[in-house]
Structure 1
Amino acid sequence: MGTKEEIQEDVAIAEKESTQHQIILYNDDVNTFDHVVDTLISACEHTLEQAEQCSIIVHYKGKCGVKTGTYDELKPRCTMLLNADLNAEII
């Protein structure tokens, strides 16, 4: 068993992890790479390279985590993705 400080640190890490969520972007057969890239740049503040990499992962793997944060931070970003006709959810 760890010291009191180690236990408190483990609890703090667990609490932080439980408040972190992720936006998952799913592949579709409708949107172009350019549209997905542009939307990731505007909605998730990705660099061009990040947005392109996520688009490629989504295309080949079917989904990709595109942004991590608290639910309240991610909700408006996910809404922007959905409003751009992309398939996304917060997990």
Structure 2
Amino acid sequence: MGQTQVQEEVALDRIVDQGFKIIVYNDDFNTFDHVIDTLIDLCSHSNIQAEQCAWIIHNNGKCDVKRGSYEKLEPICTGLLDRGLTAEIE
């Protein structure tokens, strides 16, 4: 196996590993403050980033709030669901 092929495989592994995202959907029962606080707590968003995501969710019906490997995102998505948000991993 040549150096170039190894580098390509490593690069592909990184892309595949980061290929998942958590989508949070708009609903009629969670407040902006609750969504913002939850994104700060569970997704490590800054206050501004969480506010922007909340507005995108409100205006567009959904927003991808976190990207990474499935293993990294699964507990975060479970936490979002436990706090009453509608979310899934794609």
TM-score (norm 2): 0.87
Q: 1:62-73 maps to which residues of 2 (within 5 A)?
A: 62-73=61-72
Structure 1 residues not aligned, in runs of 5+: none
For residues 50 and 37 of structure 1, the distance between their equivalents in structure 2, rounded to whole angstroms, comes to 9
**Aligned residue type for 2:32:** F
For residues 24 and 45 of structure 1, the distance between their equivalents in structure 2, rounded to whole angstroms, comes to 15
Q: Say how many residue pairs are matched.
A: 88
SS class of match (1:46): coil
* Aligned-pair identity (%): 49
- 1:8, CA displacement in angstroms? 4.1
The equivalent position to 1:12 in structure 2, one of 10, 13, 17, is 10
- 1:11, CA displacement in angstroms? 3.2
SS class of match (2:88): strand
User: Which position in structure 2 is the counterpart of 1:90?
Assistant: 89
User: Which position in structure 2 is the counterpart of 1:51?
Assistant: 50
What is the alpha-carbon root mean square deviation over aligned residues? 1.3
Structure 2 residues not aligned, in runs of 5+: none
TM-score (norm 1): 0.86
